[in-house]
Structure 1
């Protein structure tokens, strides 16, 4: 392994209309990747045909054929374990990279230290109506070139912008540190990426570029929010509780606030036809944010018709309980 080898890793499940776009964006990089690993998770459409149409010696197609063992974390883990490159560049099969993405990542590497385990860039959101918006984190960087982020700085920025600064399609991770951190949790159905970032940054640091180098396509049919409910405990909760128990001072306060925010976001994602399960906010730090806790109680115990009024006039109103004012409709992670 050398410090400048990159594997592009694309997990794939029933993305026939989009996966060719993702692979084409990998092949178009001004700094070519060293490996291209596509891991199919028992697709039932024509996704495999789209992949095999590409003839490139760097491309490997791995297949997980047991439909009972499907899952994005396990798919990514197989790709990571199979890679020989030092750096793993994730790309979802329905997203794409800009041509200079890996080139920008390589520039970030010039500022890396032995503790750097995560590199990421800005990205653009492409919405179903064709509107394109920049991600909140890179838009807030005030023309800074590169930013070093410890775990505390990362969580602080996460809280500041009201959402995770990183998405899988704009992040490159150091393979040995992923293995040390324990890879993606295969029991997670949603939020496995956020959970992984936290564990990885507990043993490493990150470097970020505000340059927009990736496209994140919103509202693609068959995305996770179509099939996995948010009316269940967030995957990240147990990890945050463990980190909080071992933390003190500023870090402990930041992690408590992050726990509350992620729990609240999951409650926001629950369909309006059902009450929020109290399991979602088990462990909520009430003394930190009593207003949000009161809203969660209302969403659990008042009749659904009244909940609609709460959502309209309180839950979705920016500033009343500290919610960011941003466009609704993202893929929940």
Structure 2
């Protein structure tokens, strides 16, 4: 089994070394490593030139113009050659047995397109896991000393848990047939896993495979709500809007009555995005997404909700004008 490890990085040279060290420290070494630098300006290129010379593994460093995470993910995906690809974010690190355990899972589950486990929060001990409703599509299986979550291949008809890419491994041929949607700023990893879940099984251990850090510049968790309420709301709006787009693509024109769980989740994300856009001062975006609610569910429910969101959008937009950050 040939496994390729891929790191996408941008202006995090201080974090990148730890990520690379965790790759070199694997009990089961990757057969090759690719680092895709999205136009860093903080000395990453100089660091990588030196690291490549002394790295104990075959390593390819690719530097490109800045274009965002998902175009960079695709550069690594296209460059990879092998059977499986394991992504690692530049601010995350793998537990020593990550690839070893992934290889075991893949060997025992040949139909799986995604194998792996969970990622821990910043304290190193707490699993980052979803609510139970996102596990309804999985069967729990007890095997040896670990509990497995197994989802059989099917087109999603309800939201399901997508493991953090730093904590899993993807079948390379399947991932190349899907590719990352480069129009996304966030949540593109979830869309990738959901698409792979239609092509093959998803098999996860209820065990920590990787560790993540919460950094001040993080797109998903790095803004203080009390210090910068408008920036925080914009961040939340973008995240919810992107998650709505994941669900919208997954519904793929099916009537809401056939996929009620997805339709309900789409409505929830629209409500969140609309409200937070308005709170951030982006009134037009707030109103636009409020109107989209009408496409999901019966008008008897969606019309009053749309009116409520429009009223809230006006209120929050006016309030946002008097906030400085």
Structure 2 length-normalised TM? 0.75
**Structure 1 residue 252: Cα displacement:** 1.5
Cα distance in 2 for partners of 1:240, 1:169 equals 22
Cα distance in 1 for partners of 2:174, 2:124 equals 37
Match of 1:35 among 29, 32, 36: 32
Report the counterpart of residue 170 of structure 2 in structure 1: 173
- Please say if 1:94 is aligned against 2:96: no
1:138/1:210 contact within 8 Å kept: no
**Structure 1 residue 263: Cα displacement:** 3.2
Report the counterpart of residue 127 of structure 2 in structure 1: 134
What do residues 266-313 of structure 1 show as CA deviations (whole Å, max 9, x unaligned)? 457658443561334553324497697676444323245779xxxxxx
2:7/2:88 contact within 8 Å kept: yes
Give 3-state SS (helix, strand or coil) of 2:89's partner.
coil
- Please say if 1:221 is aligned against 2:247: no
Unaligned 5+ runs, structure 1: 159-163, 308-333
Cα distance in 1 for partners of 2:104, 2:45 equals 34
Which structure has the greater CA radius of gyration?
2
Moved more, 97-106 or 268-277: 268-277
Q: What pairs with 1:66-215 in structure 2 (closer than 5 Å)? A: 66-67=65-66, 70-114=67-111, 116-126=112-122, 130=123, 132-137=125-130, 144=142, 145-150=147-152, 156=158, 158=160, 164-181=161-178, 183-215=179-211
Unaligned 5+ runs, structure 2: 224-230, 321-325
CA RMSD of aligned residues (A): 3.4
Cα distance in 2 for partners of 1:268, 1:98 equals 39
- Please say if 1:283 is aligned against 2:278: no
1:231/1:280 contact within 8 Å kept: no
Shift of the 170–265 alpha-carbon distance from structure 1 to 2, 3 Å rule, reads farther
Higher helix share: 2
Give 3-state SS (helix, strand or coil) of 1:45's partner.
coil
What do residues 30-64 of structure 1 show as CA deviations (whole Å, max 9, x unaligned)? 11111111000110002223333332241110110
**Structure 1 residue 20: Cα displacement:** 0.2
Give 3-state SS (helix, strand or coil) of 1:30's partner.
coil
Cα distance in 1 for partners of 2:236, 2:130 equals 24
